[in-house]
Structure formats: structure tokens, C-alpha cells
Structure 1
């Protein structure tokens, strides 16, 4: 049996331990936008028919336009970025992969499962590199100088908060794959929609690994509607920036120090992370701690009707 890896979420376990109903809890353990994209009406055949090529092509066209994908790069839609992460290490023979840490742990786990040697410190012998851009949980942004490995994975699951900082302009380079997620900025984690954008040869191999109909009919249509709605995206970026600043004022006012994060999540040094998590859980607020740090606490953004509960807890 595979040991579960450390992630945000796990609200059911928190409820079982601390009581209350799931509906009464505020889950700040993830970096998911708490105000999701409003779902459009869907035709019945989105649910009853196999996903058709026309809907897939419309989604890909919308993705190309929204992210300003270079003409030489290929775009593949998938059932979530996680499905892509699990398959990326199989695109070339196993060797050494540089995964600078601390970072999102699924990348290292996926490469290790395919027989790769995972290193955190860069070295000339690394055949592949993964950068999370911006990094989770530190919020560190990278630059194009990092794109120098044979297989270069750029995880931009959180990058839609600042499209001007995206590395998508380099996606047509040989060996580069940029990942996009619909679960964070659009707040639709349950939709299970993600994208791989990059080297056409590698994208073609990924497409073969995923098989036919990788994306559901509803996800094809919802994804296209969201990617075509630039007004919503612009308004959301402004709101996320304001809410992140509001969260910083609250948490630093309670004695924490801001040490990182981005507009979808904030990273604080609280001295005693486990103690803070327990105290917040007593008020039915779930937070994120890390096995490699006793002092770091990460908080996502509260929804519009959840701020009062957080203020009372702090």
C-alpha cells in the first residue's frame, strides 16, 4: 500500500478530531481561489456523449489565446495537472532530476517512482529539472536562465495571478513543458482540468500516454468558457491581491511574520506551527503545516463570508 504524501486538504480528518460539521469549517489549507469561476449552463450531451473533437479543439484554441502560447508549442488538455505530473518522468530514460526544494512534493515522488535519482542541489549531471513557478509554498519566481536541462518542467499552477511573469514564451523550446492548472486561479479543483504546453514531440508522447477522451465533456465546455472570460480573470486578480494583503494584516497583527507566498496563499513564520494549527482548528479553521519546518504555517484566502470566523480565531 502506498503511503499518502503530505498535502493540504484532509478536512474530514480535522472534523473527526476537532468536531463540528464540515460546513462549519473554513479550509485554508490549500491555495484554491475561494470564489470560483461561475459555472455556465451545459448542453445535455456534455454529460451523455463521448467528448467530441470540436469541443476539444475549441478548448485548445481558447487556451492558446488566453496564455499567448507561442506558435511552435503544442497544447494538451488533461484530467488535471496531477495526471500530467505522474507521466512526465516517463518521457525520457531515467537519470538525475533536479527538484529545488522545498516545493510541491508530487514532482519528486513521480520521478522517483520512474527510477530517477532526485536531487535538491543543482549539478551538471542532472538530465531534468522541475521548477514550480511561483513556488509552493515559498512563492519564489524563477527566470528563463533556469531552463537549461534536457527535460525542463515548469509548473505554473499558480502563475495565472501574474501572467506577465509566466515563462510560457519559452514553451516552444526543445525539452520544455509548462504545466497549467484549473484548480487554483479558477477555483475549480473538482473539475480536474490541466494543460501541458511545450515541445511538440514531448506533448505528442504525453497525448499517447493519456489515451482517448482524457478530458470530460463538461470540463471541455467549462474550461473554454472560463478561458474566454478575460473580464472575470482581471477582476479576480485584483480581488486576490486585495485579499492577500488583508490576510497579511490580520495574521501579522496576531504575531506572525510573513516569509513568502503569492496572491493565492501566504506563508508565515509563527514560531510554533503545530500550536497555531491546533489553536485555529479549535475555531474550526484548517491550515497547512509542513513536515520539514516546525515554524511555517501556510494559509489560503478565506471566502467572502469566512473572514469574521478567522478574525475571531486570531
Structure 2
């Protein structure tokens, strides 16, 4: 199983402490305030709520969507809906994509973002995180749609993971999910900070969504998750205020890192940079109760999410100051 952020139990096991600041998962630290649940939320079987899908289609601008138990469920299932195929995954990328395409008889290879255009003609499925996790790199919308057309003409797919697209949807192709071969994954875990509810959505043509739904089986999304997710997707005032706040915090994190000579890139939710000594920096932060995401390979680097409050910002700044002094 690939390694992921958010693994605070590992942090506590390795370093002790109870005062952790978890910056390892790139989630909005000011999560959506879940409303009170209906009294029968825990009792009824969670039959799909059409109003949840309607809210998702309106929020993401997609013509058709399927609610799933986090986009991880779709990532694991999509490779099972195709005969063995040639798969290209943009690299670096969310590790679960390559992991699962390689498990089901497909020939999967990872290709750098700059080389994707040359790889389209030699694959049946192209998988792109846009914005990329962990680097924040983006592929322009027009380019994605061009690739999708090339792939669709021979029965191929373009799979676009837009888990971090909520703060800037400029290059989103979710509204094009009714076109042949386009599959878009969206998550409420990142922008809404609701990773624990395990709720995501897939935009694609109805026949593909039906096949995915059949494969995943009944009662995919819990009743409480459906209620909380619908409230979050409909709350336009919260969404706009949160986008503004996250953009400001993202700029603040970028500026803080730059003040320490770190040339980082990313999104409003995280910053990433190639680090010459990533293991040492990861350990340095952990010994100060700050859990960051370590990337040991392809390429080696560090990713930081947003501190949750001013005390956490101060601790991060102090830890970076000490790292800078010790590195001289």
C-alpha cells in the first residue's frame, strides 16, 4: 500500500508527543461545520439521495455524476472496467493511481508532465492530477480536451483527478463529463476539509457511471456522509469566504517559505518543493511536533499544508528559522 499523509499515529509512535500540528495531508484546516444530522441518519440503509447528486452537479458544473465513498473508491475500481490497456500516469502523482492500474493486467508507466503530449499517441488511458498532487502543476483545459478527443477516437479514456481544483477551477473539465472518454474525479475531502466522511464524485457519461455504480455495489456512501456533503455543496456563502481565506493563507505559506530561501510551488492548500535533504528536514520538523509529508522518490521533496491557527504558524516559522540556521 502506498504511503500517505495524515498518518499521525505513525508520528506518535516514532516521536511521541501529543501536541502535533498535522501539515501532511493538504486539507483545509478550517473544515466545513457539519450540521446536525437527521435522527434516522444512523438507522436507515443509505439509499442514494438524488438531491446530493443534483447539488454536486450544480457545484462542479457537471452534467452527470456518481457519488462514491471517496475518490479512492473510483481509483480502485476504474482499472477493473477495462480490458488490459496501455496506461500513462502523469508523474509525479498521487501514488494510488499507478498502484491500482498496475494491479489489473494493464501496462502502466509514469511520464513527466512535460512529456505527456508525446505519450498520448502510445496509450489507451491517460491519468492526470490537475492540479497535481504533490507539485501543484497544472495542464491547461484546452490541452486536456484535445488529448481527450485523441483518446476517445480509439476508445480511450482521459482520467482527470481534480481533488485540489476547488480553489481555482480555471482548468477543470468536469463540465465536459458528457463527452466520450472523459472521467473526472472530485473530492469533498480537501477544500471542505471533510476527509473523514469519505465522499467524492465521478463525472462521466451515464453508461460509464452505471457500470462503475454496478461494480461498486449498493450503499456506497453512508447516510451521514450524504447529509453533510449535501449541506456543504449547497452552502455558497461558506464556499466563497473559504476560497478567499485559503488563497490568502496559501500566499502566506508561500511567502514564509520564500523568506527561508525555499522555492516552493503548489495550490492554495499546500506548498511543495524538491528538497536536497528531505529526510533530515522531515525529522527536524517532527522533533518539533510538526508532521509534514516526505517524498522519498520521484522526485524527492517536502509538502506542507496550511497551519490551522496563529500558534501553529508561529511554531512553523520558528522551526524553519532553526532549520535555516542549522543548514548554514
- Give TM-score scaled by structure 1 length: 0.92
SS at match of 1:159: coil
Contact 1:240 1:264 in 2 (8 A): yes
Q: Deviations over 1:242-276 (max 9, x none)?
A: 11111122222223222x21111101234311111
Q: CA deviation digits over 1:166-222, x for unaligned, max 9?
A: 111221111111101111010000100011111111111001011111111101111
Is the contact between residue 94 and residue 115 of structure 1 (CA under 8 Å) also seen in structure 2?
yes
In the alignment, structure 1 residue 88 sits paired with structure 2 residue 85: no
Could you tell me how far apart the structure 2 residues matched to 1:287 and 1:212 are? 37
| Runs of 4+ deviating beyond 3 Å | none
Q: Structure 2: where are the runs of 5+ without partners?
A: 112-118, 321-328
Measured in 1, the distance between the counterparts of 2:299 and 2:161 equals 26
Q: In 2, Cα distance between the equivalents of 1:92 and 1:200?
A: 16
Whether 1:119 aligns to 2:146 is no
Contact 1:183/1:190 (8 A) holds in 2? yes
Residue in 1 that maps onto 2:254 = 248
- Could you tell me which of 277, 288, 304 is aligned with 2:309? 304
User: Comparing 263-272 with 171-180, which one deviates more in the overlay?
Assistant: 263-272
Q: Distance in 2 between matches of 1:294 and 1:166?
A: 25
Question: Superposition RMSD on alpha carbons, in Å?
Answer: 1.5
Decide whether the 8 Å contact of 1:176 with 1:198 is kept in 2: yes
Is 1:67–2:60 an aligned residue pair? yes
Instruction: Give distance in 2, aligned partners of 1:9 and 1:308.
Output: 21
Matched residues in 2 for 1:242 and 1:270: separation? Answer: 25
Tell me the residue number matched to 1:30. 25
Match of 2:17 among 15, 20, 24: 20
**Whole-angstrom CA distance in 2 between matches of 1:285 and 1:115:** 40
Which whole-Å deviations, capped at 9, do the CAs of 1:135-166 have from their partners, x for residues lacking one?
11111112323323212211111111112331
Give matches, 1:247-286, under 5 Å. 247-258=253-264, 260-286=265-291
Q: Which residue is equivalent to 1:103?
A: 93
Q: CA deviation at 1:91?
A: 1.5
* Unaligned runs of at least 5 residues, structure 1: none
**Hey, what's the Cα distance between the residues in 1 that align with 2:254 and 2:34?**
30
Query: TM-score w.r.t. structure 2 length?
Result: 0.89
1:49 aligns with 2:44: yes
Aligned residue number for residue 40 of structure 1:
35
Alpha-carbon displacement from aligned partner over 1:11-47 (angstroms, at most 9, x marks no partner): 21222222211xx101111111111000101111111
